[in-house]
Structure 1
Amino acid sequence: MDMMSMLTEQGRREAEAVAARPVTRLLDHEGRTAVVTGAARGIGLAIARRLAESGAHVLMADRRTVDLERARSSLPAEWQKRISTMEVDVTGTPHVAALADYAVERTGRLDFWVNNAGIFPPSGPIRETQVEVLDRIYEVNIKGVYVGCREAARHMGRGAVILNVASIGAIKGQAGMSGYSASKHAVLGLTRSLAMELGKDGIRVMAIAPGLTVSPGNEELLDSIQQAGHKLATLSAPLGRFNLADDIARVALFAVSDMAAMMTGQLLVVDGGTTV
């Protein structure tokens, strides 16, 4: 049997259309709309920057308007006309729903949703862990991502992509970080389950697992590692350095692009080989 005859007619047309496009067009997102949470700094800002560079309309969301406007103004002027901002707390379900609605009202479509907002406070030794700390981690890192996926999926159609920012904590243990690690395992499980559920609608769901990344958001984590007596040099990767935020952003751009059109439910690890 001819392999192409095993595809649905719609699947065949989509596969042939992607295969016929030059590589530069596979990374061209002109006319598409993206939402990035936690976009005011670090990995979120880097992802928003690369999506805007690729031609997408980008809606940057974070908790403080002043931080968002500062981030937006740091981008090239020619991109700023394609970028808007919205103050959003991802733990507030109505806020996330309003974010998705606004993205669609603004451009008439929603193609990419990046659940980047998250927190990573050390939960400490399990015998000393305060439940209140766990509640906050799970509220942001699990509930926030879950609701983001739900609200995005309400507006998405074929070819759309949800990208969840997980962590190497989803595949590698770390003493004193059990609460955070558990939350990122949940993100990975959610990604895989939604890939199965939404695949029939042509929606891909992917996850990315950064290793230790040098960014404004992780000074507290780096300090806690040093205070715990760990030498940062011992945590470095075979490639000899920690991630920069743009290392993550470039892989994120690949994950949502048609370069990865046949990938869903997968975790892309970006850690320079730390977990090898």
Structure 2
Amino acid sequence: MPIPDVSSKPLVDLVSLRGRRAVVTGGGRGLGKAIAFRLAESGADLLIGDIDQNQAVTAAEELAERHGVNAVGVAMDVADGASVAAAADSAVAELGGLDIWINNAGIFPAVSVLEMSEETWDQVFGVNARGVFLGAREAARRIADAGTGGVIVNIISTAGFRGSAPGLAAYVGSKHAARGLTRELALELAPLGIRVLGVAPSYVPTEGNTFASAAAVDGPDPSSAPLMFTSPIGRLGVPDDIARVVLFCASDLSAFMTGSTLLADGGSTA
């Protein structure tokens, strides 16, 4: 199933997601919520999955009220196959189908290699790598059944390109895995008309990131972890900086792209 040539579409149609149905994992707050709001602004109906069901429902209600789209929030554990499959089924049932899947959920507990337990390592890989696989698998199954093609976007990290900070071995390893998986998924799913792209943000202050990064650098002073907290353009990113890149990936603006991971990092890995 070839990806169609969209050269004849006007710009307003290329960026529009009207009539498309999207899932955002970890969408109850922070970066995931910002992504969901941009997709909704562009016209997509949304299912927001989050480990915290209340946050997912609240976020869905907010974006439905603001943008007039159909939006639902569900509890979702991205490391659990049954939970991911149930969320995908809910998207089809509640939204009428599935066209876009954003694998956003992620964790990065800070533990040195010498102190890290196997359980912590497995937990990080369970969310950050297994979660990408499960989300992509369930999305691809339903998109393939519909035969209409679609897009999967994996939120990677600059940690998928380099080391980040002491204590993040599991996080860095899992993000390298997710970046590699993005390339392989693109090859396997292209015949089904499914594009797969990655977006790799640098450090962006969100509720979860602020808490976790303070632990990672043993305090909130950004100067103690320059790889995480600096960029050549002179400021940290904000969630919407990343959300706009995800919108580009999810829309027909990027119709000739698959397998790439786009750095959204203010030049910090240049």
TM-score (norm 2): 0.92
Amino acid in structure 2 at the alignment position of 1:242: L
SS at match of 1:31: coil
- Give the whole-Å Cα distance in 2 for the aligned partners of 1:144 and 1:224: 23
- Give the whole-Å Cα distance in 1 for the aligned partners of 2:205 and 2:68: 25
Per-residue deviation at 1:119?
A: 0.5
Per-residue deviation at 1:80?
A: 4.9
> What are the residue-to-residue correspondences of 1:152-171 with 2, within 5 Å?
152-156=139-143, 157-171=147-161
Amino acid in structure 1 at the alignment position of 2:238: L
Amino acid in structure 2 at the alignment position of 1:250: R
- Give the whole-Å Cα distance in 1 for the aligned partners of 2:194 and 2:27: 23
* Number of the residue aligned with 2:240: 246
* Number of the residue aligned with 2:100: 112
Is residue 2:127 matched to residue 1:140?
yes
Instruction: Note if contact 2:38-2:247 (Cα within 8 Å) is conserved in structure 1.
Output: yes
* Number of the residue aligned with 2:26: 38
Per-residue deviation at 1:158?
A: 4.2
Per-residue deviation at 1:78?
A: 4.4
- Give the whole-Å Cα distance in 1 for the aligned partners of 2:259 and 2:115: 35
- 2:191 paired residue among 178, 183, 200: 200
- Give the whole-Å Cα distance in 1 for the aligned partners of 2:43 and 2:94: 16
Amino acid in structure 2 at the alignment position of 1:96: V
Q: 4+ runs of 1 displaced by more than 4 Å? A: none
Instruction: Note if contact 1:32-1:110 (Cα within 8 Å) is conserved in structure 2.
Output: yes
Instruction: Note if contact 1:123-1:134 (Cα within 8 Å) is conserved in structure 2.
Output: no
Is residue 2:223 matched to residue 1:231?
yes
100-109 or 65-74, larger mean C-alpha shift: 65-74
SS at match of 1:213: coil
* Number of the residue aligned with 2:204: 213
Against the structure 1 CA distance between its residues 230 and 215, is the aligned structure 2 distance closer, same or farther, given a 3 Å change threshold? closer
Per-residue deviation at 1:128?
A: 2.4
Against the structure 1 CA distance between its residues 105 and 69, is the aligned structure 2 distance closer, same or farther, given a 3 Å change threshold? closer
RMSD: 1.8
- Give the whole-Å Cα distance in 1 for the aligned partners of 2:124 and 2:111: 9
Per-residue deviation at 1:107?
A: 3.1
Is residue 2:160 matched to residue 1:186?
no
| Identity, % of aligned positions | 43
SS at match of 1:61: strand
Is residue 2:76 matched to residue 1:88?
yes
* Number of the residue aligned with 1:151: 138
- Give the whole-Å Cα distance in 1 for the aligned partners of 2:103 and 2:217: 29
Per-residue deviation at 1:106?
A: 2.1
SS at match of 1:19: coil
Q: Based on CA coordinates, which of the two structures has the bigger radius of gyration?
A: 1
List gaps (5 residues or longer) in structure 1.
1-9
List gaps (5 residues or longer) in structure 2.
none
- Give the whole-Å Cα distance in 1 for the aligned partners of 2:68 and 2:194: 28
Amino acid in structure 1 at the alignment position of 2:152: I
Instruction: Note if contact 2:182-2:196 (Cα within 8 Å) is conserved in structure 1.
Output: yes
* Number of the residue aligned with 1:49: 37
Instruction: Note if contact 2:27-2:56 (Cα within 8 Å) is conserved in structure 1.
Output: yes
Against the structure 1 CA distance between its residues 218 and 57, is the aligned structure 2 distance closer, same or farther, given a 3 Å change threshold? same
SS at match of 2:63: coil
- Give the whole-Å Cα distance in 1 for the aligned partners of 2:140 and 2:181: 13
> Number of matched residues?
263
